Amino acid sequence: MITPAWVAMMARYNAWQNGWVIEACEALGEAERRADRGLFFGSVHGTLSHILWGDHMWLARFTGGDLPGIRIADSGDYVTDWSALVRQRAETDAALVDWAGGVTGEWLHTDYSWHSKAAGRQVSRPMAQVVTHLFNHQTHHRGQIHAALTRTGQATRDTDLFFLEPD
C-alpha cells in the first residue's frame, strides 16, 4: 500500500505546509486567529491546536510515548498559547520527520489495535492505513485553515504535493 519512502515524503510535506500555514496565521494576529470561522474546531487557532493534538496522539501511539491528557472534543483547546503552539508545531514536525526516517516496510505491514475514545470501542487497522490517516488528517484540517485564510484575504501558498522539493 505505502512505503517507508512515502511516509518520509509525507512527513516532509506536512512540515513544509505547516511552516507556511503558521507564518500566514501569525500575520492574522491573535483576535483573527481566535475568531470563529465556522471550522469544525471553530477558529484557526482551535483547528491548529486540534491538528497538533492529533499528531501528538498518533506519534505517542507509534512510539510508546504519553498520550495527550485530553479528549478529541477538547482538542481545540489543547494548546491555548500561540507561542507555545508555534514552538510545539515545529518540534512535532521535526519529531515526525525523524520518526518517519525509521519506519520500515515490515512495520507498515503489521496491524495496529487501540481503544478509540472517539469511536467508543477497540479498533484494529492495518498500520499503513493508520499512518495514512495521520497525514490525511493534517491535510484535511489544513485545507479548512487555507480556506479561512483565503476568506480573510491573507496570502496563502501552493499546497500541491508536486511542489515539494526532492529530498
Sign of dihedral through CA atoms 123, 129, 131, 137? Answer: negative
Domain contains 121: yes
- Could you list the residue range(s) of the whole structural domain that residue 9 is in? 4-159
Please tell me the total count of domains within the chain. Answer: 1
Asked if residue 167 is part of any domain, the answer here is: no
137 is in an annotated binding site: yes
Is the full-model pTM beyond 0.85?
A: yes
DSSP string, 58-104: HHHHHHT-PPPSS-GGGGGGSS--HHHHHHHHHHHHHHHHHHHTT--
pLDDT in tens, the chain (167 residues): 899 999 999 999 999 999 999 999 999 999 999 999 999 999 999 999 999 999 999 999 999 999 999 999 999 999 999 999 999 999 999 999 999 999 999 999 999 999 988 888 999 999 999 999 999 999 999 999 999 999 999 888 888 888 888 88
CATH of residue 18's domain is 1.20.120.450
| Within a domain: 15 | yes
Q: Is 141 annotated as a binding residue?
A: yes
In a domain? residue 30: yes
138-143-148 Cα angle (round to 5): 130
- Asked if the structure places residue 152 within a domain, the reply is yes
Q: Which pLDDT score is estimated for 55?
A: 98
Q: Residue 59: what pLDDT?
A: 97
pLDDT of residue 159: 86
Q: Is 56 annotated as a binding residue?
A: no
- Tell me, yes or no, whether 164 lies in a domain: no
Q: Is residue 84 assigned to a domain?
A: yes
Contact criterion met (CB below 8 Å) for 89 and 95: no
Q: Is residue 26 a part of any domain in this protein?
A: yes
